[in-house]
Amino acid sequence: MHDGCSGSFSDGKQVVDKVRMMGFAPQPLPMPLQVECGNCGSPFEMIYFESNCPDCDAVHGVTPCSAFDPDNVKSAGIGY
């Protein structure tokens, strides 16, 4: 079910699951975001709604409604 921009998530796995369910995971963000990995702390450029840290391979996600702010990017962990 799609709940617009009113969804709330308690962790990064829920964010990534939502992005995958909506089909946005492989799509490019409106503009790349400079983020810090939620696992290892390395900075990287997030290009897609679901992206992996190039240093530790932790999966990160952001919903389309929140894709304007790097603070909204959540880590789901390595190999998720």
Give the tens place of pLDDT for each residue, 52-68: 999 999 999 999 999 99
Entry pTM: 0.90
Give the tens place of pLDDT for each residue, 29-39: 999 999 999 99
For the chain, give every domain's residue range.
Answer: 12-78
What is the Cα–Cα distance from 67 to 61, expressed in whole angstroms? 9
